[in-house]
Structure 1
Amino acid sequence: MALIWAANVKGLKPAAKIVLIQLADFHNKETGQCNPSAQRLADECEMGRATLFRHMATLEECGLVTRHARGDGDGGRGANHYELHLDITLGPSARPKGGCSSRDGVASQNETGGNVSKKREKSPGSETGVVSNRDRNLTIEPKNEPLSRGREAEEAEKILAAYPPDRLRGKATCIARIEEAVKEGIRPEHLLQAVKTYATDSAGFTRTKVCFSDNWFKSGRWRAYLEGIAKS
């Protein structure tokens, strides 16, 4: 449920979206708890702690996440507890002017531009903010139609074709990992740019220094390049 929500959030830069998706992966649907340590979260996102905290601040400013400090039981500080606001689906760049996402405010913007009550009691003008016949934490699907299976495969082939050709291996694994990333919300054009950047960066390496494509996609090494894209 939380992963569906994170994948559907719009308007975030890729690196911030990665942090949100990884956070959602730690969400316990039974308890609502989300308690990864900062180091574990940074490792999963394949970024430094300073970079992680910068993107976490963005998520908090958007009203998507709230951090709650916790003690360790001995007077020290323990790992943070993260609260995910599953009724908010727009980051800053996708919000219409005048949109509100304050943590104390009642209104948040969904993909239809309508307001959704943060307490999820009633939508002020309509019921378009929440799918009525499913779990109340699930948001409506985005307006944009998902890629067709044929288009999905075509995009994956295009992305893989940009990888250094003499280090291609395990095509089926590569395609599966690419399609997996796109389903998580990574835009195909950003993933293609990440692959092209790696191909350019590794052009001067000896072949043994260039990672085989199946390992590169399986280990998620493209995430570091997406972070660079987000900063540019």
Structure 2
Amino acid sequence: MSYHVEALCDRRRFGSAARKQIAMYLANKASDDGAGIWCSKHTIARHTELSLATVKRTIRDFLDEGLLVETGERRPCDHGHTVVYRLVLEAVSELESLLPQKVSKETGVTVNPVHDDTPRGGHGDPSTGFTTTP
């Protein structure tokens, strides 16, 4: 499990809730470099509560889009074998960010600020600007 990979996926737009849910599940199983994902599609479907067809289609789409690659390894599972995958972190990083873009605001600097020395309230001598409060 890699917090780094999960955080990266969490901050990107995958296009649908199902795609995001599968990406987050895969990220949870990945090591820090995105590799070592070897959960079966049946397991992904069971844990994400998505249909097996949706999981298969989404995995295929991720492979076609270059977000996921097969490492060539296979691991035994209840349904025969499972493919070992790696999330391509560079490709995930290029997806649209969900974080608001920081806008750098240039604040103006007042060179000659206006000082209003007019006395406020109270009573006093207007020629000196001093006021006295009764």
TM-score interval, smaller chain: 0.5 to 0.7
Residues 113-142 of structure 1 deviation map (CA, whole Å, 9 limit, x = unaligned):
xxxxxxxxxxxxxxxxxxxxxxxxxxxx75
Q: Normalization by structure 1: what TM-score?
A: 0.36
Q: Kindly provide the amino acid, as one letter, of the partner of residue 86 in structure 1.
A: L
Q: Is the 8 A contact 2:12 2:95 kept in 1?
A: no
2:83 to 80, 85, 105: 80
Note the C-alpha offset of 1:11.
Answer: 4.5
Note the C-alpha offset of 1:9.
Answer: 2.2
Q: How does 1:127-138 map to 2 (within 5 A)?
A: none
Note the C-alpha offset of 1:7.
Answer: 0.9
Q: Is the 8 A contact 1:16 1:58 kept in 2?
A: no
Q: How does 1:15-94 map to 2 (within 5 A)?
A: 15-29=18-32, 32-68=35-71, 70-71=73-74, 78-89=81-92
Which stretch of the first structure deviates more once superposed, 4-13 or 20-29? 4-13
Q: Which runs of 5+ in 2 are unaligned?
A: 102-134
Percent identical among aligned pairs is: 17
Counterpart in the other structure of 2:104:
none
More helix per residue: 1
More strand per residue: 2
- Larger of the two Rg values belongs to structure: 2
Note the C-alpha offset of 1:27.
Answer: 1.0
- How many residue pairs get aligned? The number is 97
Q: Which runs of 5+ in 1 are unaligned?
A: 91-108, 112-140, 146-232
- d(CA) in 1 for partners of 2:54, 2:95: 27
Q: Is the 8 A contact 1:22 1:41 kept in 2?
A: yes
Residues 94-153 of structure 1 deviation map (CA, whole Å, 9 limit, x = unaligned):
xxxxxxxxxxxxxxx465xxxxxxxxxxxxxxxxxxxxxxxxxxxxx75516xxxxxxxx
Note the C-alpha offset of 1:41.
Answer: 1.0
Query: Which has the higher relative contact order, 1 or 2, with Cα contacts under 8 A spaced 6 or more apart?
Result: 2
CA 1:50 to 1:69, structure 2 compared with 1: closer, same or farther past 3 Å? farther
- d(CA) in 1 for partners of 2:73, 2:64: 20
Q: Kindly provide the amino acid, as one letter, of the partner of residue 41 in structure 1.
A: I
Residues 52-88 of structure 1 deviation map (CA, whole Å, 9 limit, x = unaligned):
1111122122211113454458xxx521101111112
Note the C-alpha offset of 1:46.
Answer: 0.5
- d(CA) in 2 for partners of 1:20, 1:14: 10
Counterpart in the other structure of 2:100:
144
